[in-house]
Amino acid sequence: MENDKKGMSRLMELAMMKKGVMIAAIIMSVLSTVASFIPYVAIYLVIKEIILVYPEIGNLNAGKMSLYAVSAVACVLINLIFYTLSVAFAHIAAYGTLYQLKIDFVNHITKLPLGFFYNTGSGKLREIMDNNIESIEGFIAHDLTNMVSAMTAPFLMLVVIFVVDWRFGIASFVGIILAFVGYGMTSGGDTVKKLMDNYQVALEDMGNAATEYIRGISVVKAFKQTAFSFNRLNDSIKRYMATVIPYSLSQENMTAMLTTMFASMYLVLIPVGVFIGSRTSDYRGYVATFIFYLIFVPAIGNILMKIIYAMANASNIAGSVDHMDNILREKVIPENGKNLVPSGHDIEFENVSFSYDGEVKALDTVSFKAAEGKTTAIVGSSGGGKSTIASLIPRFYDVNEGAVKIGGVDIRDMEIKELMNEVSFVFQDNFLFGVSILKNIRMGRKDASIDEVKAAAKAARCDEFIEKLPSGYDTIYGSAGVNLSGGQIQRIAIARAIVKNSPVLILDEATSFSDAENEYLIQQALSELMKNKTVIMIAHRLSTIKDADNIIVMEEGKIAEQGKFEDLLNAKGRFEELWKNYTTANVWKLKGRG
């Protein structure tokens, strides 16, 4: 996001995303306000007629009176028609805008580095989508139209002043000014802003705590640790209350002042009334005018209240928008528009350095080449940088120094779309979505036919159990009666990669979490998947990589050694150590008591 508009101007920018509909809504709203004044005028005219002839009521023109009554009703109707139209337009604009904002927000965060998600937390992001963005509806659909229509009130008053009586008119204006002075004196300014920030932070914190609490419920239960996780949530709930109440109460005086001022505005009319009344020559005209203003001024007060409330709401909403904008300002993984297309499918790391936190180097000037159509295995102890290598290829993060190249092209010069077509993945933590199994597999390639999906499932050795699910391929994952094991999920993830059929394949510990039967099947599936691909394989089971074309041994962010299996063993270096450990671990047995 380039612009740094804040507060009201940012809200207006958002409101005008659906400009045409919104302007229509505003015009309707203004017309409705104008129409809402007419019944008062009708009543004024009725009072005037009566006062002029009283007590000679026989002189009243009955026809004229009925006309006033009918026009009052007609204007109520017109007012409501305009009002309804305005509400309708405003809501169409509002919800259309919300939808657009949410889509834009999702599009934006999707382009952020993966670390952003780890640091931000899904609770907070969901809260922004569910509540912060949703709150903008209040401004677009209600506050903006209210504000604009309320601003027409002073103009209408000017008209009334010149038509009816300027002296009472000026007095009413004085009343309005006094009310605003009272508002200015009691609205807290910066203190309120600070309290509001505290409240917003506490609200987000509570959202995250709730998500975490529910997610961790099995651990909470297993360790009798209600206290721990519950206390966090409990504290955040209490802290929320402790911040929201002061924030609300900081507006206590202001609200009370406004209620009082607007309800008592008519009092300024009394001195003026006495002054004029004791001097007037046209007593009947004076009485009619005075009575009219006594009726009319409170109505003005009501409309002005709307402005103030709308403004207060708007500043709340602007706070919510700020939270959204902060995330929109996060730097996305950039696409430089060069859109180069790789000429081959080898992968090259050229002096790559990378750090997650800017301090500890996860990779330190790493260079290697994974040849096209060959399998490159990456091994090493945890923290050595294996997974980091896998994360840099799909640009989950961008390198700090050096370059990652596919087919000679720096991946930063490729379109993200092109890059993702080039590479597919099987992670150790695979994720299925709450949609049909068919759609889950089809995520690999959207236009894959059902036959292609089924063929991939077969190749990934998952067709058998899928067929057994309640509705086969159409079974919704996560629905009643659908429990898939880790190994089964993994095979579906492999089917996804098979359907995608991209030339480069990255396997991140893809054979972990599997029982005897699954392991066998997963291996079959992987053999199928790896045919004719450039494969980068992060492996713990060292026996599986004996035949890899190249084995890279990572140690503290650097390449310790690389070569073929036999060569590395003969070199008696780091790899040989790992291998020894591996074979020892493999014969370990959990002992019984005999």
Partner 1 sequence: MMKTLKELFQLSDDATQNLKSGIIAVTITNLVTLLSVVVVVNLFTQLINPLEGKEISFSFMWIMLGVGIVLAVLLFFASKNDYRKTYVSCYTAAKDSRIKIAETVRKFPMSVFNSKSLAEITTNMMGDCASIEHTLSHIVPPLIADIISATIVCICILFFDWRMALSIFCTLPLSFLIILGSKKLQRKVSKRQLEDKLKASEKIQEYLEGIKVIKACNLGGTKSVELEKALRDLKDSSIALEMKTGVIISVAQFVLQAGTGIAVYVGTMLFTKGDIRLLPLLLSLAVVCRVYGPILSILTLLPMLEHTLISTKRIKNLLSIKVMEGDEISTDNCEIRFENVSFGYEDEKVINGMNAVIPMNKVTALVGPSGSGKSTMAKLMTRFWDVDSGKITIGGIDVSSVEPESLMSMFSIVFQDVTLFNDTVMNNIRIGNMDATDEMVMAAAKAAQCDEFINRMPDGYNTVLGENGSTLSGGERQRISIARAILKDAPIILLDEATASLDPENEIQVQEAITRMTENKTVIVIAHKLSTIEDVDNILVLNNGTVEEQGTHDELMNKNGLYAKLYNLQEDSKKWQIA
Assess 65 for contact with partner 1 (CB under 8 A). yes
- The residue among 572 and 589 lying less far from partner 1, judged by its C-beta, is 589
- The residue among 5 and 102 lying less far from partner 1, judged by its C-beta, is 102
Quote the least distance from Cβ 9 to partner 1, whole Å.
25
Considering only 537, 552, 559, 568, the residue that binds partner 1 (CB under 8 A) is 537
Residues in 254-273 that interact with partner 1 by CB under 8 A: 255-257, 259-260, 263-264, 266-267, 270-271, 273
Considering only 5, 7, 27, 111, the residue that binds partner 1 (CB under 8 A) is 111
Helices (H), 216-282: 217-222, 226-249, 252-263, 269-277
Cβ–Cβ under 8 Å, residues 345 and 503: yes
The region of 128-136, 314-322, 342-350, 399-407 touching partner 1 under the rule CB under 8 A is 128-136
Assess 500 for contact with partner 1 (CB under 8 A). yes
Measured distance between the N- and C-terminal CA atoms of the chain, rounded to whole angstroms: 68
- The residue among 394 and 503 lying less far from partner 1, judged by its C-beta, is 394
Considering only 158, 191, 230, 449, the residue that binds partner 1 (CB under 8 A) is 230
Quote the least distance from Cβ 159 to partner 1, whole Å.
18
Considering only 214, 341, 450, 571, the residue that binds partner 1 (CB under 8 A) is 214
Assess 512 for contact with partner 1 (CB under 8 A). yes
Assess 135 for contact with partner 1 (CB under 8 A). no
- The residue among 13 and 429 lying less far from partner 1, judged by its C-beta, is 429
Cβ–Cβ under 8 Å, residues 502 and 422: yes
The region of 159-167, 190-198, 321-329, 438-446 touching partner 1 under the rule CB under 8 A is 438-446
The region of 85-93, 144-152, 172-180, 452-460 touching partner 1 under the rule CB under 8 A is 85-93
The region of 153-161, 234-242, 317-325, 454-462 touching partner 1 under the rule CB under 8 A is 234-242
- The residue among 232 and 458 lying less far from partner 1, judged by its C-beta, is 232
Residues in 339-358 that interact with partner 1 by CB under 8 A: 356-357
Strand partners, 550: 376
Residues in 168-207 that interact with partner 1 by CB under 8 A: 206-207
* Cα 51 from Cα 44, distance rounded (Å): 10
Assess 488 for contact with partner 1 (CB under 8 A). yes
Q: Which long-range contacts (CB under 8 A, 24 or more apart) does 460-469 make?
A: 460/491, 460/492, 460/494, 460/495, 460/498, 460/525, 460/528, 460/529, 461/491, 461/521, 461/522, 461/524, 461/525, 462/488, 462/491, 462/492, 462/494, 462/495, 462/521, 462/525, 466/437, 466/492, 469/437
Quote the least distance from Cβ 320 to partner 1, whole Å.
13
- 573 to 553, 564, 569, 578: CA distances (angstroms): 10, 13, 7, 9
Residues in 376-395 that interact with partner 1 by CB under 8 A: 377, 379-383, 387, 394
Quote the least distance from Cβ 84 to partner 1, whole Å.
4
Residues in 279-338 that interact with partner 1 by CB under 8 A: 283-284, 287, 290-291, 294-296, 298-299, 302
How would you classify the pairing of strands 423-426 and 409-410? unpaired
Describe the strand order of the beta sheet including 558-563 as a list of residue ranges. Answer: 423-426, 504-508, 534-538, 375-380, 550-555, 558-563
CA atoms within 13 A on the CB side of 572: 0
How would you classify the pairing of strands 401-406 and 375-380? unpaired
Assess 424 for contact with partner 1 (CB under 8 A). yes
The beta strands (E) that lie in 283-415 are given as: 347-354, 363-370, 375-380, 401-406, 409-410
Residue type, 262: F
Cβ–Cβ under 8 Å, residues 408 and 343: yes
